[in-house]
Structure 1
């Protein structure tokens, strides 16, 4: 039996509980006092930090190892102190996870004491859990709509390949999409190639081949994106990663998006244009079943 935490009320996110705080050095994660974050922290001041979001299924954090690997790689890139041994994170989660499915958010903040101060030799890592809220069933049955946002994303900035705490471009993109009654925002890069969505990766199915923008489009290597590509390899589903513009996918028969909370979500329309004769299509349905069986329920 898992723990039954008393979730606190957060006005923005509903019920939430901070599970653990850690002081992170290159050598170790050390449990720390609750609410250690200071207003001078560089993550709070400048968005200098990283985050990972994932869900549980039957008390199992889905693809946790992959999320921790990405966190470690991004921390090295940004120069944020973090040890190679992150076993304290799954150990803490094992103690604290309730029986219900939840969302886990891991936040790594740079620490420090402001813009010009000497950088601390440690960073701050927090684990948060809050109830998992699955998308509406009708989204999976009928598909969702996307809106292509006006602002283009840099094709060269390396920051878009990492889940940094500064997520304003994605937040603004999603806000624009919602103002057009769309479920998600489709983002184009400054080379006019399709990049990704504001909170998800995108896939197209063209003549039976599953296509997704290459990381050279300057996209985040989503954990679920990688899982879908692995499922394609393991199940002999033709697939490719490539640079794509709208002309390349104009005649795609299926579109779907992925992230760690929605899994495989079919897309019905992009900017009012429908794709294929049915939604979800057969390839999307097959990959959704494979994901639910091999990734979520394994």
Structure 2
């Protein structure tokens, strides 16, 4: 497999990071995960804009431009995938550790890109829905890092591991104020009386690219939406719920901690949004 590392396409076995990389030592860095449909990355410019905003938060400079990233993804797709959908990950690390235990860095970041065939989620997730549990871990809504897709993902991994060990598919986070936040790698939506609702960004959630697309689709379909501050009781009383993520698109939620959500899964609004999203990604042209 070929990968991109700091401006060069190389064999995977020849791509190395130094042992003193800040990403290894401190989890210093961030990443983007993108789904490419037939080689076309979904909303690459928006992913890159979020990546750059995260770099500004982390005081990171020197990442490649959008066109260089686009060319690299195209070359890697041709080398590693050739046809069908692909998984794309762009990773930025803090570069060499020079002794500074602040966000000051004396050298450039390390940037690598991986493109490989997409491994889709099981079809039963879409036909029967997910079973979630509420994690005992809370998202810190006041932290500037909650809106950055940082390389330190242990909190999410820990929450998902506990969920899987308890027999669930994934975990759902509340924030430190008790409001709904997000799942471990996705945003959450609920449908109440025909209105599509999702936690406000101030709840401590990542501004998901698929989340944004779903809100735009709702506007096009004239489905009312709201971003707000929701409790677990409001989730339990919803008629439908679903998760959104780049690789999995829209996945319905069947139940939370054993409580069934709505009468059918996926519900009618969720099914309509799934169909509309599929139509969006099939739109012609080099950009999606």
Scaled by the length of structure 2, the TM-score of the pair is 0.91
- Provide the residue aligned with 2:150 in structure 1: 164
- Provide the residue aligned with 2:214 in structure 1: 228
Work out whether residues 90 and 112 of structure 2, in 8 Å CA contact, stay in contact via their aligned partners in 1: yes
Separation in 2, partners of 1:40, 1:83:
19
1:82 and 2:62 are equivalent in the alignment: yes
- Structure 1 runs, 4 residues or longer, greater than 4 Å off: none
C-alpha change, 1:86 and 1:120, in structure 2 (3 Å) is: farther
**Which structure shows the bigger proportion of residues in helix conformation?**
2
Work out whether residues 48 and 164 of structure 1, in 8 Å CA contact, stay in contact via their aligned partners in 2: yes
State the secondary structure of the residue aligned to 2:138.
coil
Deviations 1:120-159 (A, max 9, x none): 3311110012221111111111111101111222121111
- Provide the residue aligned with 1:99 in structure 2: 83
- Match runs of 1:181-220 below 5 Å: 181-220=167-206
- Match runs of 1:1-298 below 5 Å: 17-22=1-6, 30-31=7-8, 34-83=14-63, 85-97=65-77, 98-116=82-100, 119-298=105-284
Unaligned stretches of 5+ residues in structure 2:
none
C-alpha change, 1:196 and 1:205, in structure 2 (3 Å) is: same
Greater shift in the superposed pair: 210-219 or 129-138: 129-138
Count of residues in Structure 1 that have an aligned counterpart in Structure 2: 275
Separation in 1, partners of 2:122, 2:63:
39
The alpha carbon displacement at 1:102 in A equals 1.7
Work out whether residues 200 and 258 of structure 1, in 8 Å CA contact, stay in contact via their aligned partners in 2: yes
Separation in 2, partners of 1:296, 1:174:
31
Work out whether residues 75 and 82 of structure 1, in 8 Å CA contact, stay in contact via their aligned partners in 2: no
Unaligned stretches of 5+ residues in structure 1:
1-16, 23-29
C-alpha change, 1:36 and 1:179, in structure 2 (3 Å) is: closer
